[in-house]
Amino acid sequence: MSNDNNTHANDITFRYATRDDLPAIVALLADDEKGKTREELRDPLPDAYYAAFDAMESQSTDALPNKYLLAIKGTDNGSDIVGCLQLTLIAGLSRRGQLRTQIEGVRVASTARGQKIGEKLIHQSISISKSLGAVLVQLTTDKTRKDAHRFYERLGFVASHEGMKMSLDPK
């Protein structure tokens, strides 16, 4: 799926993000309890967001995308970005060299929650993953996000591994 190709799921359009979408994406990332403390939402956005987006784009190919997928809902005033996630196809040697997809940064606007937008976004990501040959979709979610755990389990995800992280932030 390229930036020019949109797919529809009922009233939601999905497309890959462009640099122009960064303010809306960062606003979504900051629109929850954890994101409020991690993101820096100001105008103009810090250059670090643009550098990160450019790095993702430079690593991305049609065969191995590293993209932000957007859910866009049409409104009377145009269209609004109401959800996003980062979708990365990972090539690796494990599982006999099969591809896997990593889903990160899943967010739905607080004003659009309860409309199955997150579910549609995940299903679209799974569909893209399958079309690119991935055999596994994986994601992590903070242990304190109990509602998110129930959401992912309802969609068929299994908590099969214990994830670990180490912050390298000098703060």
Q: Answer whether residue 4 shows pLDDT above 50.
A: no
Per-residue pLDDT tens over the stretch 24-77: 999 999 998 888 888 999 999 999 999 999 999 999 887 778 899 999 987 656
State the chain's mean pLDDT as an integer: 88
CB 141 within 8 A of CB 105: no
pLDDT of residue 2: 39
Please tell me the pTM assigned to this model.
0.86
User: d(Cα 138, Cα 163) in Å, to the nearest integer?
Assistant: 11
3-state secondary structure the chain: CCCCCCEEECCEEEEECCHHHHHHHHHHHHCCHHHHHHCCCCCCCCHHHHHHHHHHHHHCCCCCCEEEEEEEEEECCEEEEEEEEEEEEECCCHHHHCEEEEEEEEEECHHHCCCCHHHHHHHHHHHHHHHCCEEEEEECCCCCCHHHHHHHHHCCCCCCCCCCCCCCCCC
Q: Answer whether residue 1 shows pLDDT above 50.
A: no
Confidence tier at 162 by pLDDT (50, 70, 90): confident
Per-residue pLDDT tens over the stretch 87-109: 999 998 988 889 999 999 999 99
The set of residues, in sequence order, having a beta carbon less than 8 Å from that of 154 and lying 6+ positions away, is none
pLDDT of residue 49: 96
In which residue are the tokens 């755990």 written?
149
pLDDT of residue 3: 39
